[in-house]
Amino acid sequence: MKRGGGIALKLFIPLGLIGCAVQGRPFEKLPSTLREAVVYVYRPYNYAGSLLRPAVTCGDDTVRVGPGGYHAFVVPVGHVVCSVETETADAVEIDAEPHAYFIKEEFGWGILTGHPHLNPVDNDKVQSEIQTCCVQEP
């Protein structure tokens, strides 16, 4: 009689239920207007750094994006800065036109905490990653 398989199964079932730390609707693209652009900051789920939620600021709006989540920043066209900071900081500058922009939040190793990075992503490459993210509910 094998007993180890049942114990292993009981240990791995909770890991499968963790999945996405952010609860909300799956990715939905917002329409942009002639005077506004939409900047999507998204963070695919990754266990490493999953406890970190540094504030991300785009224009005048600030949000903490959790693992597996995204936030749509609606900003006026023109110069926009998106930034994030822990013990280090990173920023992306955009000359926003009335369409969608995508920025991926990732974490590198740090001394006291993970170092956040904001990386612009090409519209063609983003679709498979952002489809796995959920909108952050307030």
- Residue 14 predicted with pLDDT over 50: no
First to last CA, the chain: 50
Ordered by start, the domain boundaries in the chain are 20-135
The alpha carbon of 111 is separated from its chain's Cα centroid by a whole number of angstroms, namely: 22
Q: What is the tens place of the pLDDT at every residue in 49-62?
A: 778 899 999 999 99
The pLDDT mean for the chain works out to 82
**Residue 79 CA from chain centroid, whole number:** 22
**DSSP annotation of 34:** T
Assess contact for 105 and 98: CB atoms under 8 A.
Answer: no
Q: How many CB atoms lie within 10 A of CB 132?
A: 15
Q: Is 109 helix (H, G, I), strand (E, B) or coil?
A: coil
Question: Is residue 91 scored above 70 in pLDDT?
Answer: yes
Q: Each residue of 32-83: pLDDT tens digit?
A: 789 999 999 999 988 777 788 999 999 999 999 999 999 999 999 999 999 9
pTM over 0.75: yes
Burial class from Cβ neighbours inside 10 Å (0-12, 13-18, 19+) for residue 58 reads buried
Distance from C-alpha of 14 to C-alpha of 90, rounded to nearest angstrom: 34
In terms of CATH architecture, what is 20-135?
Sandwich (2.60)
CA atoms within 13 A on the CB side of 129: 21
The pLDDT of residue 12: 38
Distance CA(96)–CA(82), nearest Å, equals 11
